[in-house]
Structure 1
């Protein structure tokens, strides 16, 4: 049977061979999958890293390519794509794992989250469910034309099997771990793809070396992949690379600021639609955003949610009668973004001159600074004479690795064999065991509000000094 190939700058040739894989290849033409061409993998990151314009479509193909290599280790005797039923579901899940992402990926979920904060009572509503890609993806896989295609490939229960792997219904299943785990095809692709297209340096991942050293074993917690001690450094490098991409790329201050302005704009647009006043937002009753808002459970409306929908509507928002919508849209279009105060930086500067801080090790220092930043942010939001509707506190914690510490191996941990025993990598890697973590603590605000910049900065500086003294006194 003929083999089809797609060229990729990360993995070289992505091959589809055998009847099942060719059927997966044909599914790329499905409208739900084609929509991913119009959803950027990194949302607004290209406003900071101009070449970071790669799509969820390309990433999904990359995840498929990595999953296929991992599957070949789990099922080493398979030739020409004749995988087991679980193996086939694994490949389909890898290809479809992001099928439910909305415009600008996670930024759209953030926008709906802000709308829910401004309009309480929406937590379990169909609208909130319709922007959660973890809920939308299984729905598309089971209930849309994607589900019909999968059913023809693998039978009546096949779409649900695929959806369950993406949803991690069985965490002890090795096939699930290849798609969704701490060392899965998703992470192995984007940890290489994202820095490549963004043009940022990272520790890198020696994917070929890992593939040569992965082995399969059985344990009390199911089958799992592992490497022996000679290759564990490559796994260590993987965890560090992924960790460092967060402050460098994913949580870049400018990107997060644009995401907030997008969220603020969209939440205001949704408020107008909810009030049957979409004309004030510059929209007609038939506009895709209006149709989605009023019938979010309809998957046909989900098909319309891509990045081009927003950019194609931006000029409408700029002409809106609603002044808030008009102002924010104009600022986004002209790259006139909100200003930001980094609470962590203020705390870090204050700590540099504090004798007690100099006696702490790195872990204790980070713990103190994080506590200071949290307290300062809480205090700031209570100061009603300073804190306004335009202010936004951005916090995101990230740790290097989540240990399970299951001796004998587990599909959901990174496994290393040492001394004849398979253990969690945290047991033998000093770097992973360091429990390294960081958090961002930033305040974005509209500097057009008279005096706001100075008032915020003064309050943050004073708060940092007081809370730092308090933390060091309590810890003494």
Structure 2
């Protein structure tokens, strides 16, 4: 029997709090799960710093990746023998679902922003490079690894396959919304996934939804909207991300200026010099980063030491509503005043913005255009979701942005009698209520 068709003697199952069980029967999938590159995902949290806001959010990219695989497995099971579905694509879909987040680094998106990395590019490099994952995929067949990389890179010829992993209603979102809701303890992210899976239909270019399932999709869209604003963009989580980001910026600045570290940032040097190799990247996980942050609390550089102590012990910055684009004079004055009182504004006065577009209709030619969700009507005509749903129409194409200003209130209070500090507080209080990052 060819390796690609080989089945395990007995089905393996992972007990899962979201899907109850994750089922594995394919030898290829079981072997991929056992690779060092996939096991590394156990050491990378799914929600970065959100565990400092929601203490239960300790789940990993490993959990999520298995979940996405399981959702795709169920979708394919429902697609079997339906028109427009070629079961020869089954293993490709399962592999792409399992491996779609393989390239995430520690603290994911915060890490990417500082070092200008792209986790999808690293996912493709792991799949195509000298790795255990690549050896298994190439054993399936010549060019199979490239096909998996193309699905994840959204360049694979069969757009239906791509849409299962990456679209406005895909297995990735259907897993992380429910999983993140479960582990954060919130109620926002729950929706009737089983109903959605039952009404999904394969078309030549993408998955569509049978019109009778429209209300289940409305619930899914609203769940996503609420999760972004109540969990993913939570201001306390963003405060922790700000400090994390500033630690990495400070270490890079010190390295470039030949600072004598007590603990040399060996794991970060190729990142600082834009020479990171795949081997270097795979050595990084959150355990490594926490190790450095723990020891950097003892560094002689006061900024690095303070920021690391804040991050490790959850002494976060306070925040107010503040848009520097609309308050240029106040922003410039705050910068000057922070410098006057000896608080470096580059690290301790941070404007942060978050934005989300919960659902969008088709905008051909625009950057990052989204393929909309289509409903399959009883007469087999396709209708774009927002044209049929008043709920979805109300939020379609509406990008919401939230601005916050983060700063260390404790440092200001230490100099409360200073007139410049009083002026800082006057400006901050004039913008609204100062909130605790608690």
Partner residue in 1 for 2:218: 236
Structure 1 residues 310 and 31, CA gap change in structure 2 (3 angstroms): same
Q: Does the 8 A contact of 2:188 with 2:226 survive in 1?
A: yes
Partner residue in 2 for 1:399: 357
1:54 is displaced (CA, Å) by: 0.3
1:160 is matched with which residue: 146, 160, 163?
A: 146
- Residues 223-262 of structure 1 correspond to what in structure 2 (within 5 A)? 224-262=206-244
1:460 is displaced (CA, Å) by: 5.7
2:248 is matched with which residue: 256, 259, 266?
A: 266
Distance 2:373 2:156 in 1: 17
Partner residue in 1 for 2:391: 431
Distance 1:377 1:151 in 2: 56
2:69 is matched with which residue: 59, 64, 70?
A: 64
2:178 is matched with which residue: 186, 192, 200?
A: 192
Q: TM-score if structure 1 supplies the norm length? A: 0.78
1:76 is displaced (CA, Å) by: 3.5
Distance 1:289 1:405 in 2: 40
Q: Does the 8 A contact of 1:151 with 1:159 survive in 2?
A: yes
Distance 1:168 1:430 in 2: 30
Unaligned runs of 5+ in 1: 113-127, 344-372, 465-476
Unaligned runs of 5+ in 2: 1-6, 339-344, 433-438
1:378 is displaced (CA, Å) by: 4.2
Structure 1 residues 5 and 462, CA gap change in structure 2 (3 angstroms): closer
Structure 1 residues 179-201: Cα deviation after superposition (integer angstroms, max 9, x where no partner): 11111110000011001011011
The answer on 1:105 being equivalent to 2:108 is yes
Three-state SS of the structure 2 residue aligned to 1:376 is: coil
Q: TM-score if structure 2 supplies the norm length? A: 0.84
Distance 1:291 1:51 in 2: 33
Moved more, 238-247 or 435-444: 435-444
Q: Does the 8 A contact of 1:56 with 1:98 survive in 2?
A: yes
1:139 is matched with which residue: 112, 120, 125?
A: 125
What is the RMSD computed on CA atoms of the aligned residues?
2.6
The number of aligned residues is 400
- Residues 355-374 of structure 1 correspond to what in structure 2 (within 5 A)? 373=323
Partner residue in 2 for 1:289: 268
Q: Does the 8 A contact of 1:31 with 1:303 survive in 2?
A: no
Structure 1 residues 141-164: Cα deviation after superposition (integer angstroms, max 9, x where no partner): 1113122221112x2211111111
Distance 1:411 1:331 in 2: 39
Q: Does the 8 A contact of 1:4 with 1:22 survive in 2?
A: no
Distance 2:71 2:81 in 1: 15
Partner residue in 1 for 2:332: 382
Partner residue in 2 for 1:48: 53
Three-state SS of the structure 2 residue aligned to 1:182 is: coil
Q: Does the 8 A contact of 1:111 with 1:260 survive in 2?
A: no
